[in-house]
Amino acid sequence: MAGHLHDLRPFVHPHAFADEGLARRERALLQVTLITLVTMAAELATGWWSHSLALTADGWHMGTHALALGGAVLAYRLSRRAGRDAGYAFGGWKIEVLSAYTSGLLLLAAALGIGWDAVSTLMHPLPIAYSEAIGVALLGLAVNVGSAWLLSRGAGAAPDEPGHAGHDPHAGHGHGHGHSHHHDHNFRAAYVHVLADAVTSLMAIAALSGGLLYGWAWLDPAVALVGAVVIGQWAVSVLRGSARALVDATADPAISSRIRELVESDQDAQVADLHVWQVGANAWSAAISIVADRPLPAARYRARLRAIEPLRHVTVEVHICTGESRA
C-alpha cells in the first residue's frame, strides 16, 4: 500500500510567546538607556572639568544603571532570536528572566554598598559639600523621574509596585490577563532600578537640605541607611519573583482550576495529571493527562481549552479508564 504525505500544518506552531506589548516595552527601555548614558557622559565630563568628586561618583553610578538597563534591552533581543531557534524548547523567555535575576543581584549589591557607606559615615563623619551634592541629586532625580515616566508609558499602564509582583488569580482568564507586563520580570526589574535611584535622589535632597540649613550632618547617612533597607526589600522581591520563574514555580492556580473545569465539563473525563508553567510574560504551557470511560480525541479536549487565552501551548494525552464500573 502506497504511503501518503501527512499534512502537519495544523499541528505545527512557533515556540515564541512574546505578547503584543513587548516591542513597546523594549523601545521604552532603549530610550531610558540612552538617556542614562548621555547623563553619565555629561556628569563625568563636567566632573573632570570642575574637579567635582560628587559629580564623578554620580556619573559612574549612572553607568551601573545604564549597564542594568542595557542588559534588559539585550535580553529582549536575545530572547527574540532564541524564539526562532528550535534548540530552545519554549523560546527564549528565560533569558529575560535571567536578566531580571541578575538585575536584582546588582540592586541588592547596591543596597548593601549604600548601607555599608552609611554606617561607616555615621561612625566616622566626613565633610559634605552640600550645595554641590544637592545639585547632583536634583539632576539625578529629574533624569529618573523622566525615565520612570517613559517606562510607565511604554508599559501601557503603571507596572506593579515593587514588592507586589503578583496578580489577582481570579481576574482575566478566559479573556486574557490584561496587563501582561505584570509578568515581565525583565521590565519590572529595570523599572525598580529606575525607581530605586529616584527614591535615593529624593531622600538625599531632603537629607542634604537638612544638613545645609540646620547643620545636621548625621541626617545624610541616616536617611541613606533607610533608603538601603527599602531598596534591599525591592531587590529581594525582584529576586524572589524571577527565581520562581527560573525554576518553573509560577503555576497559576486560576488557570489550573479552569483547565480542570473545562476538561471535566462532560461529567466523564477526569484530569489525572496536570502541569502548568509560565513560558512568556503572558503565556502559559500545560501538559495534561486525561482519563475517561468514553475518551474523545485529544483535539476535542484541546478545543475546550481555547477559552483560556494565556494558555498558549497544550499537550494532551488521553487514556481509557481501566477501573471497575460503579454499581
| Res 144: pLDDT | 87
Say if 7 falls within a structural domain. Answer: no
Say if 327 falls within a structural domain. Answer: no
Indicate if 85 and 158 belong to the same structural domain: yes
Residue ending a domain, choose from 246, 275, 308 = 246
| Res 252: pLDDT | 82
Say if 2 falls within a structural domain. Answer: no
Say if 8 falls within a structural domain. Answer: no
Indicate if 221 and 276 belong to the same structural domain: no
Count CB-CB contacts under 10 A for residue 55: 22
What is the domain-level CATH number for residue 288?
3.30.70.1350
What is the domain-level CATH number for residue 91?
1.20.1510.10
Domain extent at residue 179: 14-246
| Res 270: pLDDT | 94
Say if 325 falls within a structural domain. Answer: no
Indicate if 137 and 45 belong to the same structural domain: yes
| Res 2: pLDDT | 54
Total domains present in the chain: 2
Indicate if 266 and 222 belong to the same structural domain: no
Which residues of the chain fall below pLDDT 50? 1, 158, 161-181, 327
Say if 3 falls within a structural domain. Answer: no
Say if 1 falls within a structural domain. Answer: no
Indicate if 218 and 314 belong to the same structural domain: no
Indicate if 240 and 260 belong to the same structural domain: no
Count Cβ neighbours within 10 Å for each residue of 117-127 and write b for 16 or more, e otherwise.
Answer: ebeebeeeeee
Indicate if 283 and 242 belong to the same structural domain: no
Indicate if 282 and 175 belong to the same structural domain: no
| Res 239: pLDDT | 93
Indicate if 232 and 278 belong to the same structural domain: no
Say if 83 falls within a structural domain. Answer: yes
Instruction: List pLDDT tens digits, range 280-323.
Output: 878 888 999 999 999 999 999 999 999 998 888 899 999 998 86
Percent of the chain scoring above 70 in pLDDT: 79
Indicate if 189 and 273 belong to the same structural domain: no
Residue 110: name the closest of 19, 229, 271 by CA: 229
Mean pLDDT over the full length of the chain: 79
| Res 166: pLDDT | 40
Indicate if 263 and 184 belong to the same structural domain: no
Asked whether 296 and 286 are in contact (CB, 8 A), the reply is no
Residue ending a domain, choose from 246, 263, 294 = 246
Residue ending a domain, choose from 230, 246, 262 = 246
- Nine-digit cell at 6? 501527512
Indicate if 224 and 257 belong to the same structural domain: no
